Amino acid sequence: MNKLIQHSIQASIAVKQAILSDTAFLQKIEQAAQILTETFRKDGKVLFCGNGGSAADAQHIAAELSGRFYLDRPALFAEALHVNTSFVTAVANDYGYDAVYARMVQAAGKPGDVLVAISTSGNSTNILKAIEMAREKGMNVIGFTGETGGKMASLCHLLLNVPATDTPRIQEAHILIGHIVCQWVEEAMFGNV
């Protein structure tokens, strides 16, 4: 059991070390933070979507922005699109699960808003449809994926494709990146960045 624990921790560190060593990837994280900052400065909103663990990550990161991260400051409009279970189940029942996020993007998204789409494979149909709707609405799309980016690679304005193929390691890196972006946004808007 000890080897399993050590291997998991070492694998997680290796992914984060690969990110840390990749200047281009670090610049993409900075670019994502700048896009969100400018969106909030223009009174725009940031919508998040994902499935399973990525839905939990979407909700987690949205809460850090809409609530607070480090600073006691005004709330920012950030929301995970799956939190209204009545909406999700009604749309899934009436239109199919593939439409649940696109439908909410259609209702809530405005030009200049941001969709943060999270999918470790980059191939989740409901996420792809949400991205397509966001682009139709004139929104910026930031994707969080695994190494290949999947089908999302060609659809996102900015792709943060974590250099890993193992889902837990990808998700751990997504939360790290999400926390960095939240801290950047908060400090840029309310601190001393």
- What are the tens digits of pLDDT across the range 91-107? 999 999 999 999 999 99
pLDDT tens track for 110-152: 999 999 999 999 999 999 999 999 999 999 999 999 999 999 9
Give me the percent of the chain exceeding a pLDDT of 70.
99
CB neighbours of residue 129 within 10 Å: 18
**Separation CA 61–CA 80 (nearest Å):** 9
Q: How far from the centroid of its chain's Cα atoms is residue 29's Cα? A: 11
Whole-number Å distance between alpha carbons of 141 and 172: 21
Range of the domain at 98: 2-190
pLDDT level of residue 57 (50, 70, 90 thresholds): very high
Is residue 15 scored above 50 in pLDDT? yes
CATH of the domain at 128: 3.40.50.10490
Pick the closest to residue 48 from 64, 31, 67, 61 (CA basis).
61
| Residue 192, pLDDT score | 65
Domain count, the chain: 1
Taking residues 53-72, what's their average pLDDT? 97
DSSP letter assigned to residue 8: H
Is the confidence at residue 193, as pLDDT, over 70?
no
Count, residues in the chain: 193
pLDDT in tens, 178-190: 999 999 999 999 9
